Structure 1
Amino acid sequence: MRISRTLTAAATTAAVAALGLAVAAPAQAAEYSSALKIKGVQYDAPGRDSNKCSGGNTAAEYLTIKNYSKTATVNLKGYKVKDAAGNTFTFKNSHTLQPGDQVSLRGGRGTDSDAKNVVYRQNCNFIWNNDKDTIYFYKPSGARADVHSYTQKANDKDRNGYITYHG
């Protein structure tokens, strides 16, 4: 019986694809109308987690946001990043991304730099969970720019603490 069900499900999937019918995709796979998207996340900083401002490794935890537009320059001011628990970071200063440019949003304290494409959260606590989390990225208007959920087991096969979303 199980084999029959599997074949039937496979046949149904093939028929739907052959007819060109739309198949519902999970919410995290939805493409939002935004030039800026989450390229990847280093959700588990290398080494033993230490959120001490001096000598800790929260700066090694980062989110990479990329401007995928071929023509538009985008200012990050007002964009928000949020996790599943509601921890939020808002880009308060101007930081422009040229087409194809990217920025690393790092934990810890540091000096933001357009030249080095880095913004610091100015917070020494980790934001991303090491086992699973959801990353929300919002435009200044409040519209969702991108979202991705992950679990270490399903999404980080090599266990290096980094997951790529958009190449």
Structure 2
Amino acid sequence: MHIRPTLAAASALTVSALAAVALLGAAPAYATEYSSALKVRGVQYDAPGSDDNRCSGGNTYKEYVTIKNYSSTATINLKGYKVKDAAGNTFTFTNSHSLQPGDYVRLRGGRGTDSDANNVVYRNNCNFLWNNTSDTISLYKPSGSHADTHAYTKSRDDSDGNGYIGFHS
């Protein structure tokens, strides 16, 4: 006999909790969640050392964004995915790189040899992509729809000042 009142009370609580979430908003202004297993895990937006974008001897390769497959079952091919910054600079994965469930890839600046074994893809561009003070990272599916977006501000998001910000655990 006590089951119905308990379920009714639980239902009322659930409806109240959902209403409160709807009033507060789904996510902070600086993070937008999309339905995608592929997400931006983190960004080394400020390469260690003095910024030097020379292709030979520079440190552009130390700047990277990590993209992770958060699916527990699906393998995702990166071919056709795009990464953009707030200024519209874009990198498109033109080669096949398959990410197994839980796997990740680091998209690095500079020039180098892509390696699935080492989880690295190079932009083959020696210019820095991410701004050192603030920027927005957007990941797009090959269809053009959003997969993930994060905005960061050094003063707000990098409490230890190491130039790295993590987004998803």
Matched to 1:65, the amino acid is I
Q: Deviations over 1:38-61 (max 9, x none)?
A: 000000000000000000000000
Which stretches in structure 1 are left out of the alignment for 5+ residues? 1-16
The alignment partner of 1:19 has SS state of helix
CA distance in 2, matches of 1:29, 1:44: 20
Q: Which residue of 2 aligns with 1:37?
A: 39
Matched, 1:19 2:16: yes
The 3 A distance-change label for structure 1 pair 18 and 72 is closer
CA distance in 2, matches of 1:136, 1:86: 10
Matched, 1:106 2:108: yes
Q: Aligned residues, how many? A: 151
CA distance in 2, matches of 1:156, 1:117: 24
Q: Which residue of 2 aligns with 1:90?
A: 92
Q: Which residue of 2 aligns with 1:157?
A: 159
Q: Which has the larger radius of gyration?
A: 2
Paired residues of 2:31 and 2:151 also in contact (CA < 8 A)? no
Matches within 5 A, 1:115-134: 115-134=117-136
The alignment partner of 1:104 has SS state of strand
Q: Deviations over 1:62-89 (max 9, x none)?
A: 0000000000000000000000001000
Of residues 17-26 and 138-147 in structure 1, the stretch that sits farther from structure 2 once superposed is 17-26
State which of 54, 57, 60 in structure 2 corresponds to 1:55: 57
The alignment partner of 1:66 has SS state of strand
Identity of aligned residues (%): 72
Which stretches in structure 2 are left out of the alignment for 5+ residues? 1-13
Please give the root-mean-square deviation of Cα atoms over the aligned residues, in Å: 1.4
Q: Deviations over 1:101-138 (max 9, x none)?
A: 00000000000001111000000000000000000100
Matched to 2:63, the amino acid is E
With structure 2 as the length reference, what TM-score do the two structures score? 0.86
CA distance in 1, matches of 2:89, 2:97: 21
The alignment partner of 2:151 has SS state of strand
With structure 1 as the length reference, what TM-score do the two structures score? 0.87
